[in-house]
């Protein structure tokens, strides 16, 4: 094998659309391992056929990942190397693999990244939004109420926010972004590296109108990027005291909703705003 001789789990990034994006190193590793653990073996089989490779595969997805740990660890202990791949892009980035990597590292096994395509990074590199600081949030909740609450909790974040979204929820997500964040700039990256790759930019309302006018723009997988909130002025003493109050209440086990109600009653202001701040504090801790 072109990699070091000791057995390892290779975390291999695969193309997100354009097969030419697979690195020579990734192709070499896929051809030399004893086993490929794939999110969907049928999907990965197409890539392996394209490469002219015939390597044993087994499935590893969110429903069976924990059960696969012992089996894969035994293969590593026997001196066999394994490649971990997802359907597209870099494993573990909103894809399976975290449980396996965590457990194997805890057992002292070698885990080697084979970097390559990642929709998150590809989208940010061409979006025209600040990238010195950004927060990747994965997929927003599927249900509307939870999704809006999540967006409201993130409203004060000053870094660029990045989400993945599916075509059947993109319209509802844009509507909720508009309701929670107003006219903030949004960039949609669609079908990255594929024939119909598209970047759309504007407010959530403007983008929703574009999707309604051209339903083809709502097809494919999306990376949704939001401009961060404008920097806040220096906090007043009351605001600082509010943060301390919320932190103390949360530390005592008071729920986010109740903590927000107490802060609004004692310090004034909208309970909704206190709720968002309390939720952000809870998540930070």
Same domain, 111 and 15: yes
What is the band of 273 on the pLDDT scale with cuts at 50, 70, 90?
confident
In a domain, 3, yes or no: no
In a domain, 231, yes or no: no
* Other Cβ atoms within 10 Å of 116 Cβ, number: 17
Given a contact cutoff of 8 angstroms between Cβ atoms, the answer to whether 178 and 185 are in contact is no
Looking at residue 192, its pLDDT comes to: 97
pLDDT in tens, 82-97: 999 999 999 999 999 9
Domain extent at residue 24: 8-117
Whether 4 has a pLDDT exceeding 50, the answer reads: no
In a domain, 244, yes or no: yes
Phi, psi of 63 (to 5 degrees): -90, -20
Which one has a higher pLDDT value, 66 or 248?
66
Looking at residue 31, its pLDDT comes to: 97
Same domain, 28 and 91: yes
Across 139-148, 179-188, 274-283, least confident range: 274-283
Cα distance between residue 147 and residue 54, in whole Å:
43
Report the domain count for the chain. 3
Same domain, 171 and 203: yes
Same domain, 131 and 142: yes
Cα distance between residue 178 and residue 165, in whole Å:
16
Same domain, 106 and 151: no
In a domain, 100, yes or no: yes
Range 75-81 average pLDDT:
97
Looking at residue 233, its pLDDT comes to: 57
In a domain, 138, yes or no: yes
- Picking from 69, 84, 117, the residue at the C-terminal end of a domain is 117
Across 1-10, 80-89, 98-107, 259-268, least confident range: 1-10
Range 101-111 average pLDDT:
97
In a domain, 48, yes or no: yes
What is the band of 159 on the pLDDT scale with cuts at 50, 70, 90?
very high
Range 111-136 average pLDDT:
97
Tokens (6 digits) for 44: 């990965």
CATH code assigned at 68: 3.40.1010.10
Whether 283 has a pLDDT exceeding 90, the answer reads: no
Range 237-250 average pLDDT:
77
Range 112-121 average pLDDT:
97
pLDDT in tens, 30-55: 999 999 999 999 999 999 999 999 99
Could you give the count of Cα atoms lying within 13 Å of 186 in the half-sphere of its Cβ?
Answer: 24
CATH code assigned at 124: 3.30.950.10
| Enclosing H/E stretch for 89 | none
SS3 content of the chain, % helix, strand, coil (to 5): 45, 20, 35
Looking at residue 1, its pLDDT comes to: 52
Same domain, 171 and 242: no
Range 57-79 average pLDDT:
97
Same domain, 262 and 199: no
In a domain, 96, yes or no: yes
Looking at residue 247, its pLDDT comes to: 87
Range 53-74 average pLDDT:
96
**Residue that has been written with the tokens 């993945």 in this structure:** 164
Range 123-134 average pLDDT:
97
Same domain, 111 and 96: yes
pLDDT in tens, 166-209: 999 999 999 999 999 989 999 999 999 999 999 999 999 999 99
Same domain, 17 and 97: yes
- Picking from 86, 117, 148, the residue at the C-terminal end of a domain is 117
- Picking from 89, 117, 145, the residue at the C-terminal end of a domain is 117
Cα distance between residue 213 and residue 209, in whole Å:
6
Contacts 24+ apart (CB under 8 A), 139-146: 139/94, 139/163, 139/164, 139/165, 139/166, 140/165, 140/173, 142/169, 144/172, 144/176
Cα distance between residue 214 and residue 147, in whole Å:
25
Same domain, 242 and 170: no
Same domain, 153 and 219: yes
Buried/exposed 198-220: b ≥16 CB within 10 Å, e otherwise: bebbebbbebbeebeeeeebbeb
Same domain, 219 and 141: yes
In a domain, 18, yes or no: yes
Task: Decide: residue 251, CB within 10 A, 0-12 exposed, 13-18 middle, 19+ buried.
Answer: exposed
Tokens (6 digits) for 54: 């015939």
Across 123-127, 203-207, 254-258, least confident range: 254-258
């Amino acid at each position: 094998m072109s990699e070091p001789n000791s057995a390892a789990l290779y975390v291999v990034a695969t193309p997100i659309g354009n097969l030419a994006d697979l690195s020579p190193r990734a192709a070499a590793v896929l051809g030399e391992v004893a086993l490929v653990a794939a999110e969907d073996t049928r999907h990965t089989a197409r890539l392996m056929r394209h490469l002219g490779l015939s390597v044993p595969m087994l499935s590893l997805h969110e429903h069976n990942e924990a059960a696969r740990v012992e089996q894969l660890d035994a293969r590593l202990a026997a001196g066999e190397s394994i490649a971990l791949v997802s359907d597209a892009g870099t494993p573990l980035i909103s894809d399976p693999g975290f449980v396996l990597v965590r457990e194997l590292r805890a057992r002292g096994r070698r885990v080697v990244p084979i970097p390559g395509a990642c929709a998150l990074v590809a989208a940010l590199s061409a979006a025209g939004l600040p990238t010195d600081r950004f927060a990747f949030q994965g997929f927003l909740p599927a249900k509307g109420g939870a999704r809006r609450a999540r967006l409201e909790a993130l409203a004060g974040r000053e870094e660029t926010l990045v989400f993945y979204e599916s075509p059947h929820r993109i319209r509802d997500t844009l509507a909720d972004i508009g309701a929670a964040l107003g006219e903030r700039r949004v960039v949609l990256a669609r079908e990255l590296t594929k024939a119909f790759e598209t970047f759309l930019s504007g407010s959530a309302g403007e983008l929703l109108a574009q999707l309604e006018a051209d339903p083809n723009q709502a097809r494919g997988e999306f990376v949704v990027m939001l401009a961060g909130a404008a920097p806040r002025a220096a906090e007043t003493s009351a605001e600082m005291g509010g943060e301390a109050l919320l932190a103390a209440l949360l530390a005592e086990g008071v729920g986010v909703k109740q903590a927000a109600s107490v802060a609004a009653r004692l310090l004034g202001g909208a309970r909704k705003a206190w709720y968002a701040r309390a939720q952000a504090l809870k998540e930070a801790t």
